[in-house]
A and B are shown apart, each in its own frame.
Chain A
Amino acid sequence: MAAKTLIIDGKAVSAEEGATVLQVARDNNVAIPTLCHLEGVYDVGACRLCLVEVAGSTKLQPACTTKISEGMNIQTNSDRLRKYRRLTLELLFAERNHVCAVCVSNGHCELQTLAYSLGLDHVRYDYVFPKWKVDVTHRLFGMDHNRCILCTRCVRVCWHIEGAGTKNVAGRGATARIISDLDQPWGDSESCTECGKCVMACPTGALFHKGATAGEMEHDRDKLEFIVNAREKQQWLP
């Protein structure tokens, strides 16, 4: 494939045609924050954390779904981007009920880590305090919608790594939610193989192993990486 040359944060880089801005940035040690991106599944640009500035365009572009092109000039960390990233995180916190202190993922949460990494010391918007249910009907796993950021990682790993297609999104806007099968209790799902990939993929404490208490839930992301590596590179590395 043809190589493309472009500029990221003032530095000239080259990469193969078809790569995304996020891939090229990471290959060149430029850190762009992400939440919905997950190695091994396709990108959807859901979380808007990876927005970057592309010279010549007034619109901000998600790095994870924007393909590189010749001569592109990209800014990944301007004041404007930092402002929008913080705003996006604040809206995520305000939209559902994220109570870090009592969350199973306290200390192992990507939302929490991103918040402090990006200097979020408080949320300027009024909290919505919506009423959401917790589905603990499954034998092994639970789903707490209060902590869900709708990144859809669970949906993508369920469909495209496990191939079960249990997890889906229902509803629109702020009332959108992750469902199992045809919006049934997870425990009643006939398609769920109990593989746990959704739990491994979840960036927050929304999906968890039953029995985990505050701070105990770690997502075993390396198991998912192992599977993806085996599929994509035929390397069965421990």
Chain B
Amino acid sequence: MKLRVATVWLGGCSGCHMSFLDMDEFLIELAGLIDLVYSPVIDVKEFPEAVDVCLIEGAVCNEDNLEILRKIRERTKVLVSFGDCAVTGNVPAMRNPFGPDNRENVLQRAYVENARNNPGVPKADGIVPRLLEQVVPVHEAVYVEYYLPGCPPPAARIKEVLVQIINGQAPLLTGPQLKFG
């Protein structure tokens, strides 16, 4: 039976998913080897049950990220932190050093101080998720099995990990394949 694979995009720039698409012709081969059951690149709204592997791009930045991440953990055997934001917090976590008021301050800066028209922090309960007090890497929120660092991880590195997983091995990266940044 084919592996049921998902990819998810939390607090990140989607660069990791762009790099995923950079696997080019291997994507065609990959499509024959796995079932992609949930991803920003396919049209599935609800994270399904009984997923084998999920690549998680992005840091945990808001309540929505945290909620879906917990759901993913419950429904997935193997989680892979996909890219530096997921692994380290990276750029999204750069608001953390601004202290306990950082979420108010960054929203004020982005939507009020720098807004030319209609300044105002977007608020819509149930639609715009609230920012968490601190941005955290994925493994600080839920247990993560494997790590795939890089900003973004080069396509060859993603392929390396996927091929190992498809072959039933525990993915192992070494040397420059583990480079942050």
Contacts and interface: CB of A to CB of B under 8 A. Distances in A.
Interface string A71-114: 00000000000000000000001000101111100110000100
Contacts of B175: 116-117
B58 interface: no
B90 A101 contact: yes
A56 to B, nearest CB: 33
A99 B151 CA distance: 10
Interface residues of A, number: 26
A100 B174 contact: no
A100 B180 contact: yes
B91 A127 contact: no
Contacts of B98: 131
Q: How large is the interface on B (under 10, 10 to 19, 20 to 34, 35 or more residues)?
A: 20 to 34
Nearest to A111: B180
A126 B91 contact: no
A120 B181 CA distance: 13
A121 B180 CA distance: 8
A115 B88 contact: no
Contact of A131 (B89, B99, B180): B99
Interface in A109-167: 112, 115-117, 119-123, 126-127, 129-132, 146
Interface of A: 93, 97, 99-103, 106-107, 112, 115-117, 119-123, 126-127, 129-132, 146, 215
27 contacts: A93-B88, A97-B94, A99-B91, A99-B94, A100-B84, A100-B151, A100-B180, A112-B180, A115-B178, A116-B175, A116-B176, A119-B174, A119-B178, A120-B178, A121-B147, A121-B173, A122-B137, A123-B88, A123-B137, A126-B140, A129-B93, A129-B96, A129-B97, A130-B97, A131-B97, A132-B97, A146-B97
